[in-house]
Amino acid sequence: MLGIADMYGLNGLKEVAIYILKRDYCNFFQKPIPGKQQPVLECMAIAHSLGVENLYAACMKWVGKHFAKCLSERSFASLPTELQNNCLVMLTKSLVSSI
């Protein structure tokens, strides 16, 4: 639905779709539930593919905070190589900036 809303320029519907992704896939970016990181990773891939930068950035930030748990998910391995590399770069930058 997000792709269709974006394609036809239906900004209201696009915002509703983004809200639903945040609610249903990302649980509003709360602490991770064991074994339930997969929806956030899927949402990150959707946001990246459709160019929804604010949602993508929020997913990346959450993945960075909970990287150890996300890395162990099977769905992390199935992400496109570009997204895996983006996660690693973001994690490296966050580690360097905290020194």
CB 87 within 8 A of CB 66: no
pTM of the model: 0.89
Give, as one character, the DSSP assignment of residue 31.
S
Could you report the per-residue pLDDT of 56-76, keeping only the tens digit for each? 999 999 999 998 888 888 889
Distances (CA, A) of 4 to 13, 22, 38, 50, 74: 9, 18, 23, 10, 29
Q: Please state, in angstroms and rounded to a whole number, the distance separating the CA atoms of residues 84 and 99.
A: 23
pLDDT for res 36 = 73
- Total domain count for the chain? 1
On average, the pLDDT of the chain sits at 90
- Scored b (16 or more CB within 10 A) or e, 22-48 reads beebbeeeeebeeeebeebbbbbbbbb
The neighbour count for residue 64, using CB atoms within 10 Å, is 16
**Domain limits for position 15:** 1-97
